[in-house]
A and B are shown apart, each in its own frame.
Chain A
Amino acid sequence: ETGVTQTPRHLVMGMTNKKSLKCEQHLGHNAMYWYKQSAKKPLELMFVYNFKEQTENNSVPSRFSPECPNSSHLFLHLHTLQPEDSALYLCASSQEGVAGGETQYFGPGTRLLVL
C-alpha cells in the first residue's frame, strides 16, 4: 500500500464514547500532522509530530489526544467529544529537512459524526 492511509473512513460516536483514529504513511516521511476540516472553514492544523516528537499543539482541547509511536503511525484518541467536533479529520505527512520536503501529502480523512 502506498501514500497515506486512514482508518476508519467514517465514524459515528456518542459524546460519552472513546474511539481512536489511525493514520499510517508509507512514504518514509519524518513529520505527521492532524488537521480538522469543518464545513466552510479553512483546514485547521491540530497537531504536528516530527521524528515522533510533538512539535505543535494548536490549542486543541484535551478531549483530543494524539499519539505517535513511530514515524509511520499517528493516532488521534477521542473521548467525551461534543457535537461541534463533527468534521473531517485529515492526516498528512511530509519529508522535512530536504528542499521541497515541507510539501504535505494527505490521507483520505475520517468523517466523524458526534451525536
Chain B
Amino acid sequence: GQQLNQSPQSMFIQEGEDVSMNCTSSSIFNTWLWYKQDPGEGPVLLIALYKAGELTSNGRLTAQFGITRKDSFLNISASIPSDVGIYFCAGPGTSGTYKYIFGTGTRLKVLA
C-alpha cells in the first residue's frame, strides 16, 4: 500500500538554526500537506501544496512540492523554542480525497 516516509525521525537543533525535513511517497501525489502537532494537541495545518514544483512560505516556514510529485520538503528558518513538536506530511490516498495518508512524523526539539 501507499506509504509516506519522513526523515529524519527526530532532530535536536540549537535555537536560531535552520531545519530541513522531507517526505517521500511510494506513489505520485497531487496534494501535499504539512502539519505540526504540539504535545497534547491535534495537528495544525501549516502549508498546503497543490502543484508540482510549487514553493510556498508561511512565515519562517517554506515547503516545496517535489517535481517528481513523490516528495515534499519543509524548511524552518531561524528556529525558536516554540517550533518544538512533531511535523507530519500528508497526501490523499489512491481511493480519493477522503482517505489521507500521513507520514510517521519528524520530532523536532529546539535547544535554547
Contacts and interface: CB of A to CB of B under 8 A. Distances in A.
Interface string B27-42: 0000101010000111
A96 B105 contact: no
Contacts of B90: 43, 104
Interface residues of B, number: 25
Nearest to A89: B42
Contact of B42 (A31, A102, A106): A106
B43 interface: yes
B41 A109 contact: yes
B45 A102 contact: no
B98 A56 contact: yes
Given A42-B103, A42-B104, A100-B50, A111 B33 contact: no
Contacts, number: 57
A107 B37 CA distance: 11
A93 to B, nearest CB: 11
A91 B31 CA distance: 21
B42 A4 contact: yes
B100 interface: yes
Given A100-B50, A103-B45, A105-B45, A43 B40 contact: no
B104 A41 contact: yes
A103 B99 contact: no
B42 A45 contact: no
B92 interface: yes
Contact of A102 (B35, B88, B95, B97): B97
B44 interface: yes
7 contacts: A4-B42, A31-B98, A42-B101, A43-B88, A45-B100, A100-B50, A106-B44
Given A103-B48, A106-B44, A108-B41, 15 more contacts: A6-B42, A41-B104, A42-B105, A43-B43, A43-B102, A45-B100, A48-B99, A50-B98, A90-B42, A90-B43, A100-B50, A103-B45, A106-B35, A106-B42, A109-B40
Interface of B: 4, 31, 33, 35, 40-45, 48, 50, 88, 90, 92, 95, 97-105
